[in-house]
Structure 1
Amino acid sequence: MAQDDKTLRVLSTTDVAGIDITLSDVVSVVEQAYRTLAEGRSDNPRKLTVKPADGHSVGYAMLGRDGERNVVAVKTSYKHGLHEDRDQQHYYTTLTLYDDETGLPVAMLDCGRIGALRTPAVSALLARELAAPGSRSALVVGTGTQGRLALPFLLTTLPDLERLMLSGTHPDGIRAVREELERHFPGRELELVSDLRAAAGEADIVLATAGPNTQASVEADWLKPSALCVLVGYGIAPSTLWRAERVVATSAAQMRVTGTDMADAEGRLPDVDVEFPDVLAKRASGRTSAGQSIFAYNSGLVVTDIALGHRFAQLALAQGLGTAVPLWK
Structure 2
Amino acid sequence: MTGTTDPRIPFGTAAPADDTTLRLLSTSDLAGLDISLADVVGTVEGAYRTLAAGRSDNPRKVTVKPSDGHSVAYAMLGRDGSRDVVAVKTSYKHGLDKGRQEQHYYTTLTLYDDVTGLPVAMMDCGRVGSLRTPAVSALLARECATPGARSALVIGTGTQGRLALPFLLTTLPGLDRLMLFGTHPEGIEAVRARLRAHFPDRDVEVVTDARAAAGDADVVVATAGAHTPAAVESADLAPGTLSILVGHGLAPSTLHRADRVVATSEAQMNVTGTDMADADGKLPAVDAEFPPVLAGVTAGRTAPLERIFAYNSGLVVTDIALGHRFAQLALEQGLGTRVPLWR
Provide TM-score, normalisation by structure 2: 0.95
Instruction: Please say if residues 232 and 297 of structure 1, whose CA atoms lie closer than 8 Å, have aligned partners that are also in contact.
Output: yes
Instruction: Please say if residues 2 and 106 of structure 1, whose CA atoms lie closer than 8 Å, have aligned partners that are also in contact.
Output: no
Where does residue 27 of structure 2 map in the other structure? 13
Change (3 A) 1:189 1:220: same
> Does the alignment pair 1:231 with 2:241?
no
| Distance across 2 between alignment mates of 1:173 and 1:30 | 26
SS in 2 for 1:202: coil
| Distance across 1 between alignment mates of 2:41 and 2:256 | 29
2:227 to 213, 224, 234: 213
2:196 to 177, 182, 197: 182
Cα offset for 1:2? 7.3
1:284 to 290, 298, 305: 298
Change (3 A) 1:56 1:92: same
2:106 to 69, 76, 92: 92
1:243 to 257, 260, 275: 257
| Distance across 2 between alignment mates of 1:172 and 1:86 | 13
Instruction: Please say if residues 151 and 177 of structure 2, whose CA atoms lie closer than 8 Å, have aligned partners that are also in contact.
Output: yes
Q: State the one-letter code of the partner of 1:25.
A: D
| Distance across 1 between alignment mates of 2:235 and 2:33 | 43
Instruction: Please say if residues 141 and 147 of structure 1, whose CA atoms lie closer than 8 Å, have aligned partners that are also in contact.
Output: yes
Instruction: Please say if residues 2 and 104 of structure 1, whose CA atoms lie closer than 8 Å, have aligned partners that are also in contact.
Output: no
Instruction: Please say if residues 153 and 220 of structure 2, whose CA atoms lie closer than 8 Å, have aligned partners that are also in contact.
Output: yes
Where does residue 311 of structure 1 map in the other structure? 325
Identity %: 74
> Does the alignment pair 1:166 with 2:180?
yes
Where does residue 200 of structure 1 map in the other structure? 214
Unpaired runs of at least 5, structure 1: none
| Distance across 2 between alignment mates of 1:163 and 1:231 | 20
Where does residue 146 of structure 1 map in the other structure? 160
Instruction: Please say if residues 2 and 105 of structure 1, whose CA atoms lie closer than 8 Å, have aligned partners that are also in contact.
Output: no
Where does residue 40 of structure 2 map in the other structure? 26
Cα offset for 1:267? 1.1
Cα offset for 1:187? 1.6
| Distance across 1 between alignment mates of 2:280 and 2:19 | 50
> Does the alignment pair 1:78 with 2:92?
yes
Instruction: Please say if residues 211 and 230 of structure 2, whose CA atoms lie closer than 8 Å, have aligned partners that are also in contact.
Output: no
Instruction: Please say if residues 219 and 241 of structure 2, whose CA atoms lie closer than 8 Å, have aligned partners that are also in contact.
Output: yes
* Cα RMSD, aligned residues only: 1.0
Where does residue 51 of structure 2 map in the other structure? 37
Cα offset for 1:6? 3.0
Unpaired runs of at least 5, structure 2: 1-13
Name which one, 1 or 2, has greater alpha-carbon Rg. 2
SS in 2 for 1:143: coil
| Distance across 1 between alignment mates of 2:118 and 2:332 | 17
Where does residue 128 of structure 1 map in the other structure? 142
Q: State the one-letter code of the partner of 1:283.
A: V
The 5 Å alignment of 1:254-293 reads 254-293=268-307
| Distance across 2 between alignment mates of 1:128 and 1:220 | 21
